[in-house]
Structure 1
Amino acid sequence: MDVYDEGSDARHGPAGPSAGPSGPEPGAALPGPAALPGPAVPAGPAVPAGSPGPGAPPPGTGRPEDLPHSPADPGAGPHAAPGPSAGPRTGVAALSLRYQIGAAVALVVVAVAVCAHLGMTFLHVAPANTVSKKHGETVENWIYPEFEQNWKLFAPNPLQQDIAVQVRAEIRTADGGTRTTGWYDLSAQDGRAIDGNLLPSHTQQNELRRAWDLFVATHDDDNRPVGLRGALSETYLRRITVLRLDRADAAGPGGAVERVQIRSRTAPVPPPEWSGEKVSTTPVYRTLSWWSLPEDEARGGAG
C-alpha cells in the first residue's frame, strides 16, 4: 500500500495515483520555478483579461514578427518575398546629368542645322521673293556646289545628252624638247570609278561635271568669259585638268606640263529601240584654246 503525504501535489486519476515514471497527464502544467523552494514573491495587482502583461512593450512598439498579420495579405511578415523592383534605366535617362545636358545641347544644334538647311533649300527652289532677293548671295553660298537643286530630271527637258570633258597637254620633256599627248577622257575615268561603286565620292560624281557646267554658264559661244565668274571658272577647270594629268603621269620622268587644251564631246543619248525615234548620234565637239600654265601649276601644283 502506497502512502502519500497530505501536502503532496500529486494528483490522483480515476484509477488511483500514478504509478511508475510516467509523466504528467496531458494538459497538466509543468512545475515552474515558483514550485521550487525559496522566498515567497508577493503577488502583483490583478491584470484584466486581454491587457498586456507587466513588462510588455506598449502597442505599436513591438517587433515586426509579433505584430498581427492581416488575413488579406497572406504574404506579409518578415519572411515575405520582396515585391518587384523598378527595372534599370535605359537610353538618355541612364546617363549622368552632365551627359544628359550634353546630349540635349547636341540635339538642339542638329535640329537648328537641319531647319537652317531646309530653309535655305526652300528659298533656293522657291520663286523669287523678298527674303530670297535680300539674302540671295547667302543662299547661293550655302547651296552651291554640294546641295544644288534643279528640275532637269523631271521637267521641262530632261538631260538627253552625254557630255564628256577631255584634255590634252603640251609637255616639256627632260631633254628640253616638247611633245603633245593624246586626248585624255576625264569623264570616262570618272565613269569607270563610279561604275560598281556603292559609295562613290563627291569628286568622282560632280567635280568635273560642275566645273564644266560653270564654264559653259559663264562664257559665250566663242568661249569668251562673261563677268568675273568667267575668269574664275577658267582657273577652276584648268587646275582640275592639270591635277588629273599629274595623277596619270602624263608628263613622264623629268617632264612638265606647259599648256593644256580642253574640249567637250557631246553626243545625244540613243533612244530606246521601241520608240521608233530617229536621232543623229554624231558627236559635237567644243574645243577651247590652249591655256598656258603658271610655273606653280606646271608640275601639278594647285597654285
Structure 2
Amino acid sequence: MDAYDEDSKAPHGPDGSDGARRAGALDGPGAPPGDRGDTAAGDPAGPEPEAAPRAGLAALSPRYRLVAGGALAVVAAVAAVHLGMVFLSLAPANTVSKRHGEAVQAWVYPEFEQNWKLFAPNPLQQNVAVQVRAQVRTEGGELRTTGWTDLSAQDGAAIDGNLLPSHTQQNELRRAWDFLGTTHGTDNRPVGVRGALSEQYVRRIVVLRLRRDEEIGRAGSVERVQVRSRTVNVPPPGWSREKVSTTPVFRVLPWWTVTGDETEAGAR
C-alpha cells in the first residue's frame, strides 16, 4: 500500500517521489507551454504557417493583370484568325472562302503559303537551283554585268551541318520561286495580280542577297537583275530500271529593273 504524505495526502511512488507534486509541477504555470498536460486551457500550439508567395499573374498588381490579360487576349485572337485563314486557304471551296477569297489570299500569300508536295502521289524528284546575275552601275558610270551567283547553293551551305537551320535559309528562296512558277506562263509573263506580286517578291529577295555580296557592293549600285533556274532530275537508284535525263534545264527570266525602294532596302 502506498504511503501518504501528511501535508499533501498524495500518494508517493515506489521511488519515493511525490507523484502529486510532480504532476502539479508539470501542470503549473511555470511549465513550458508545450509540456503542460492541460491542453484544454486554450494555449496555442504555435505560430500559424505563413501563406505561400504568389507567382505568375497573381503576383502582379490589378493594373498589370489587366494589361497582361489584354495582351494574351490579343495574341489568342490573332492566332485564331491566322489558323482560320490558313484553314480556308487549304479547305475545298465553300461559301466563306468564295465570299472572302481576296482577304484570305492577302493574309496567306506569299509568306504563309502551304506546300503539300512532300505527301503527293508524285513527290518532287528534281533539284532546282535559283541563280541570279546583275547589272551594276560603277562609280565611273559604266554598266557592268556580273556572273551568275547560285543563291540555292548559298542556302545549302548554310544548312549543311547546322542542327537548327532557320526557316529563311530553308524555305524563303525555294517557296518564292515555286510561287513565281505557279503564277507565270510558259512565256515567263505574269498571270494576274499574284504574278506581279511574285515578281516583286523574288526581286526583293535577290536584291537583298546581292547587297550582302561584298564584291558586288564595292562594284557599285545594282540597277537590273536577271534570275534563272537550273533544274536537274534526281537520278534513280542503281537497282532501278528507270532511265531519266540528268542534263540541266534552264529557265531564264527577262531582266528586271530594280526600283528605288528595293535598292534602299538592300542598302539597309
The answer for unaligned runs of 5 or more in structure 1 is 1-24, 29-64, 66-72
- Hey, what does 1:207 align to over in structure 2? 172
Task: Work out the CA distance in 2 between the residues paired with 1:163 and 1:238.
Answer: 18
Structure 1 position 254, deviation (Å): 5.3
Structure 1 position 95, deviation (Å): 4.0
2:209 aligned with 1:229, yes or no? Answer: no
- Hey, what does 1:111 align to over in structure 2? 76
Match of 2:95 among 130, 147, 161: 130
**Residues 157 and 96 of structure 1: is their aligned pair in 2 closer, same or farther, counting only changes over 3 Å?**
same
Correspondence 1:27-176 to 2 at 5 A? 27=7, 75-82=39-46, 85=49, 87-91=51-55, 92-176=57-141
Task: Work out the CA distance in 1 between the residues paired with 2:223 and 2:241.
Answer: 48
8 Å CA contact 1:164–1:185 kept in 2: the answer is: yes
8 Å CA contact 1:239–1:297 kept in 2: the answer is: no
1:160-195: CA deviations, max 9, x gaps? 211111012233444444443221001111222233
SS at match of 1:147: coil
**TM-score, normalisation: structure 1:** 0.64
SS at match of 2:41: coil
SS at match of 2:119: coil
Mean alpha-carbon deviation: is it higher for 94-103 or for 128-137? 94-103
2:267 aligned with 1:301, yes or no? Answer: no
- Hey, what does 1:240 align to over in structure 2? 205
Q: CA RMSD of the aligned region, Å? A: 3.3
SS at match of 1:259: strand
Task: Work out the CA distance in 1 between the residues paired with 2:74 and 2:138.
Answer: 55
- Hey, what does 1:18 align to over in structure 2? none
**TM-score, normalisation: structure 2:** 0.71
Deviating beyond 6 angstroms after TM superposition, the runs of 4 or more aligned structure 1 residues are none
The residue identity in structure 2 corresponding to 1:82 is: G
**Residues 133 and 247 of structure 1: is their aligned pair in 2 closer, same or farther, counting only changes over 3 Å?**
same
SS at match of 2:118: coil
**Residues 140 and 232 of structure 1: is their aligned pair in 2 closer, same or farther, counting only changes over 3 Å?**
closer
**Which has the higher Rg, Structure 1 or Structure 2?**
1
Task: Work out the CA distance in 1 between the residues paired with 2:256 and 2:177.
Answer: 15
Task: Work out the CA distance in 1 between the residues paired with 2:72 and 2:137.
Answer: 57
**Residues 204 and 281 of structure 1: is their aligned pair in 2 closer, same or farther, counting only changes over 3 Å?**
same
SS at match of 1:211: helix
Higher helix share: 2
1:25-47: CA deviations, max 9, x gaps? 9439xxxxxxxxxxxxxxxxxxx
- Hey, what does 2:214 align to over in structure 1? 249
2:265 aligned with 1:285, yes or no? Answer: no
Task: Work out the CA distance in 2 between the residues paired with 1:297 and 1:95.
Answer: 45
Mean alpha-carbon deviation: is it higher for 258-267 or for 227-236? 227-236
Task: Work out the CA distance in 1 between the residues paired with 2:148 and 2:48.
Answer: 78
Task: Work out the CA distance in 2 between the residues paired with 1:95 and 1:120.
Answer: 35
**Residues 75 and 281 of structure 1: is their aligned pair in 2 closer, same or farther, counting only changes over 3 Å?**
farther
The answer for unaligned runs of 5 or more in structure 2 is 9-28, 30-36
**Residues 122 and 215 of structure 1: is their aligned pair in 2 closer, same or farther, counting only changes over 3 Å?**
closer
1:210-253: CA deviations, max 9, x gaps? 33223222221111222233333333323322332221134464
**Residues 261 and 106 of structure 1: is their aligned pair in 2 closer, same or farther, counting only changes over 3 Å?**
closer
2:243 aligned with 1:263, yes or no? Answer: no
8 Å CA contact 2:135–2:225 kept in 1: the answer is: yes
The residue identity in structure 1 corresponding to 2:229 is: S
Structure 1 position 268, deviation (Å): 1.6
Question: What is the number of equivalent residue pairs in this alignment?
Answer: 234
Mean alpha-carbon deviation: is it higher for 184-193 or for 212-221? 212-221
Structure 1 position 81, deviation (Å): 1.6
Structure 1 position 129, deviation (Å): 0.5
Task: Work out the CA distance in 2 between the residues paired with 1:297 and 1:146.
Answer: 20
8 Å CA contact 2:159–2:165 kept in 1: the answer is: yes
1:49-101: CA deviations, max 9, x gaps? xxxxxxxxxxxxxxxx8xxxxxxx96443544237646415444444444444
8 Å CA contact 1:174–1:253 kept in 2: the answer is: no
